Structure 1
Amino acid sequence: MIKLALIDNGIPYHMRNNRNQRIVHKSFLASKCDPSEYKDDKSFHGAVCVGIITSICSDIELWDLNVTDSAGTTQITVLLEALEWCIQNKIKLIHMSLGTINYFDIKPLWIQIKRLLDADAIIVAAYHNRNIKTYPAAYPGVFGVRQDRYGLLGNGQILFQEQKGYNIENSIIANFSWNGIVNQANSYAAPVVTGHIATYLNRKPQQDLMMLWTF
């Protein structure tokens, strides 16, 4: 069973209890309020991402790392702390349907991401919904994901679509749709890729990580 860290806004308590997967929750926010207390639709962002992942691969041990508030925002220091936790706990698969477009975040974030990649961690991250350069999705070695906005793919399918100025692993498109309606959010396309990678790792845990680029 693959150990997966979801770095997001936390899964509400009642949703954690209703799942078959083992879920360990940890918050990196100064406020320790449970995500179930949040009132707007963004409260369920992490839960939706997990639902997409587990619809593809249910055989996971989930580490639910809460880094964003009810508005879906956080500080770079909080994100770096969560990534440090992943390093110390030897997490091998990390999902981040979030990122930064702030120039001043690029270097400190890369230092942590590089440490994880050097430890053979696999990181999946979503691009900003305006499809501008987002980190960590655009870092070398990170699987950067956008939604298929041109109807090229069926639900749950993925494709490497090369883009100028990006590495091939940063150039993934995926399709997530519900009842035939394509969700345009990149944050809900990225879990499709994470689900497929989790499935692959459960089948071939010792396989060369480079093989993931062709699965």
Structure 2
Amino acid sequence: MSRIYYKKGNNMKIKFIFLFLFIIFTIVFIYIPKNDHNIKIAVIDSGIDVNHVDVSVIKRFDNKQTVMDSFGHGSAIAEIINKKNNENIDFYDGNILDENGNTSVETLIKALDWCIENKVNLINMSFGLSENNVKNLKKN
């Protein structure tokens, strides 16, 4: 089984950070205010802890009822996306990581299918893959 590892302190390249922020701010500040319907945003990451972040989670992947976020990364991403406390955002918690920060490519694919089934408008995946995992994804 392929594994995906999340390590605290991984450095992302600056250009990807700016691209990510540009996309998020474009959606949050331009697209959402011009629409009268809620936008569905899935955060596929370490989870969203609604006890620490003021966001509305509509649904959780695999019907997990836990609000734990072992790493705080998924919650931080949700908080950045919801910087304006926009009531037109429905968050979908795609927690795919275990308590050690590991997951499988199969779980990632199931989470993406879950997003499609729920007609999510935007999927945020801010994590990295090892070279072996990239090769496994290409095979699938």
Give the TM-score category using the shorter length.
0.5 to 0.7
5 Å matches for 1:141-152? Answer: none
Question: Given that residues 35 and 70 in structure 1 are in contact (C-alpha distance below 8 angstroms), is that contact kept between their aligned partners in structure 2?
Answer: no
Identical-pair percentage? 33
Instruction: Please report how far the alpha carbon of residue 34 of structure 1 lies from its aligned counterpart in structure 2 after TM superposition.
Output: 2.8
Amino acid of the structure 1 residue aligned with 2:82 = T
CA deviations on 1:155-191 (whole Å, 9 max, x unpaired) are xxxxxxxxxxxxxxxxxxxxxxxxxxxxxxxxxxxxx
Instruction: Please report how far the alpha carbon of residue 37 of structure 1 lies from its aligned counterpart in structure 2 after TM superposition.
Output: 7.7
- Determine if the alignment matches structure 1 residue 54 to structure 2 residue 76: no
Q: C-alpha distance in 1, partners of 2:62/2:114?
A: 10
- Determine if the alignment matches structure 1 residue 69 to structure 2 residue 98: yes
Question: Given that residues 13 and 34 in structure 1 are in contact (C-alpha distance below 8 angstroms), is that contact kept between their aligned partners in structure 2?
Answer: no
Instruction: Please report how far the alpha carbon of residue 106 of structure 1 lies from its aligned counterpart in structure 2 after TM superposition.
Output: 2.8
Aligned to 1:79: 108
Q: C-alpha distance in 1, partners of 2:117/2:139?
A: 17
- Determine if the alignment matches structure 1 residue 7 to structure 2 residue 39: no
Structure 2: 5+ residue runs without aligned partners?
A: 1-37
| SS in structure 2 at match of 1:62 | strand
Aligned to 2:68: 36
Instruction: Please report how far the alpha carbon of residue 5 of structure 1 lies from its aligned counterpart in structure 2 after TM superposition.
Output: 0.7
Q: C-alpha distance in 2, partners of 1:104/1:66?
A: 23
Aligned to 1:147: none
Instruction: Please report how far the alpha carbon of residue 26 of structure 1 lies from its aligned counterpart in structure 2 after TM superposition.
Output: 1.6
| SS in structure 2 at match of 1:24 | strand
RMSD (Å), alpha carbons: 2.7
Amino acid of the structure 2 residue aligned with 1:88 = E
5 Å matches for 1:1-215? Answer: 1-15=38-52, 19=54, 21-28=55-62, 34-36=66-68, 38=70, 42=71, 44-55=72-83, 58=86, 59-101=88-130, 102=132, 103-107=134-138
| SS in structure 1 at match of 2:102 | coil
| SS in structure 2 at match of 1:68 | coil
Instruction: State the structure with more CA Rg.
Output: 1
Question: Given that residues 47 and 93 in structure 2 are in contact (C-alpha distance below 8 angstroms), is that contact kept between their aligned partners in structure 1?
Answer: yes
TM-score, length-scaled by structure 2: 0.58
